[in-house]
Amino acid sequence: MSTTIEVNKQSVETLLGSGRFKPFVIPEYQRPYAWSDEQVETLFEDLWEFTAGSGGTENNGSYFLGSIVSYENDDGEQEIIDGQQRITSLFLLLRAIYTRLTDILESERTAAAKNFISKIEPTIWRTNKLTGVVDYTDILLTSRVMNNDGNQILKAILETGETSENAKDNYSKNYRLFQRLLDKHFFRESFNGISIYLCIIKSSYFTSYNSRHSRYCINNFLYIE
């Protein structure tokens, strides 16, 4: 069987949105999610400095995020071969942003807040193409790491936006850390502090290499431009 490799340049918004048709899967053979507090905070602060400066929504700076390698399996799923730590962290960050935005009373949400909510939803959950109805139980990233309780924890966080303060797993700890970092900037710099994070998904690009029939080691270079 011949191998087809698709190469595309897409925004992060488009990449994650493609999960509506080809959901992301962290396969059994991958190691558990293991990013440390330091890695999460470094990602957040680097993105913050970039989006607040040269990469703001009206600017044209560029920032390299790393690489993601994917493989389309026979079930039409995008298996993450390399970069699962980073894509998982991006999902947790977007969920944290979404939670903070929806914490605002609907009657008090600005037009910008409502717009950001509508942009984030199809990057995390399956959204009906015709009606726009979001299925908050149908998550576009699933972890199937062998013998790992974290699989269900990740699903619960992305579905509900909640986690126990006593939870010690990396998904919960890093999700809470993203929330604290957002709160720090939110209260210091008001809503604009969160709004510039939209350019993470709107102004971020990567070169996508997707193998259809075999697990080639192909880099999808992810960067913000």
DSSP 160-181: HS---TT--SHHHHHHHHHHHH
Range with the poorest average pLDDT among 74-83, 105-114, 156-165: 105-114
Give the pLDDT score at 113: 80
Name the DSSP class of 140.
S
1 falls in which pLDDT band (50, 70, 90)?
very low
The mean per-residue pLDDT over the stretch 194-208 comes to: 55
DSSP 88-133: HHHHHHHHHHHHHHHTS-GGG--HHHHHHHHHHHHHHEEE-TTT--
Give the pLDDT confidence of 19-33 residue by residue, as tens digits: 888 899 999 999 999
The mean per-residue pLDDT over the stretch 216-225 comes to: 47
Question: Which carries the bigger pLDDT value, residue 61 or residue 173?
Answer: 173
Share of the chain above pLDDT 70, in %: 71
The mean per-residue pLDDT over the stretch 85-91 comes to: 92
109-118 own/partner pairs: CB under 8 Å, 24+ apart: 110/191, 112/191, 112/195, 113/191, 116/194, 116/195, 116/198
- pLDDT of 112 above 80: no
Question: Which carries the bigger pLDDT value, residue 4 or residue 172?
Answer: 172
